[in-house]
Amino acid sequence: MGNKRMVEVTDWEIKHHTETAILVTDGDTEVWIPLSLVEELAGYEGEDLDEEIEKLESFTVPEWIAIQKGLI
């Protein structure tokens, strides 16, 4: 897991979140991604994630977790 390359994931919707993870879906599959691995939530203005979750356009994570979770 030495791959530090980051990838932007755009085809998955953020459906739900907890204090430690986001639940994302492509319409068929749902997977949890630890927030500690999310580098950026595009569209998030830093306010209340509950209110902003529908505005999020994409998220950026390490390539290895994107591959492991089937996001790319």
Reported as a single tens digit per residue, the pLDDT across 28-55 is 999 999 989 998 877 676 667 767 677 6
Distance between CA atoms of 38 and 12, rounded to whole angstroms? 14
Alpha carbon 40 to chain centroid, angstroms: 8
Q: What is the pTM of this model?
A: 0.79
Report CA torsion sign: 52, 25, 40, 34. positive
Categorize the per-residue pLDDT at 63 as very low, low, confident or very high, splitting at 50, 70 and 90.
very high
Q: Are 42 and 8 in contact (CB under 8 A)?
A: yes
In which element (H, E) is residue 68 found? helix 63-68
